[in-house]
Amino acid sequence: MDGNKVDPPVTIHLKGSCDQTRETKFPVYRLLDRYHGSHFWSENAVNYEKLYNDMLPYVLRAIGNRTVESKEGPFVVCDYGAGDGGTSMKLMTEIISAVRIKYGREKTLVIVYEDYSWNDFKSLFCLTQGLFEDQETFLPQDKNVFLLASGTNFYKPCLPPNYVDLAVSCIAMHWLSKRPCNLELDILGQGDKVSYEELDAYKRQAAEDWETILINRATELKIGT
């Protein structure tokens, strides 16, 4: 296998105020514009109910055992790789309830949704505000919950140092920062036809990416969290 073989640059057209042509060495999957505002991601996601059931005990324990006291500041939650927010809405409902039990209803709670700049943030805010007919907002009568967005991908610093109380991610950490090599006979890094050399390249990239993610999150999490 030619280890130096990679896809040629592709051209991505960004619409609106960011109208420009940009070339990227490693193409990334981007939701087609016609799906923006339709909560396509969460509508077609699978297994996130199982993920919710697996994550919930750890998340509630983390909030209950939290010893960092920031009485004057908000409790900050960040959902990294949020997509349209639908895969974490049920979890966010439980997080809000747990924070209310521990700190009371007057505690300000900030939820930051992080993803690429081209993410479907329109669907995200429509979902979280309950503007779709088939969805309900998780913010009924809670004026001390504030929703924000970060358009910086999680392989870079997304938030200020010592800022986040609770970091979560719902089905996003499998996205690599770049493609380490082309696959000759398959389309998935763990497919049946992937060679040992290709699989090795993907494993090395995943390990490097995971280290980068942890270093950035360690900076953003509040000291003692």
82 close to 42: Cβ distance less than 8 angstroms: no
pLDDT number for residue 184: 80
Class of the domain covering 10-220: alpha beta
- Residue numbers in the chain where pLDDT is lower than 70: 1-46, 48, 67-71, 134-136, 140, 186-191, 225
59 close to 94: Cβ distance less than 8 angstroms: yes
Neighbours of 49 (CB within 10 A): 11
Buried b (16+ CB within 10 A) or exposed e, 185-195: eeeebeeeebe
pLDDT number for residue 208: 97
155 close to 213: Cβ distance less than 8 angstroms: yes
Q: What is the pTM of this model?
A: 0.78
Pairwise CA distance, residues 56 & 128, whole Å = 19
Cβ burial of 164 (10 Å; 0-12, 13-18, 19+) is: buried
Boundaries of every domain in the chain: 10-220
The DSSP letter of residue 164 is B
166 close to 77: Cβ distance less than 8 angstroms: yes
Pairwise CA distance, residues 86 & 135, whole Å = 9
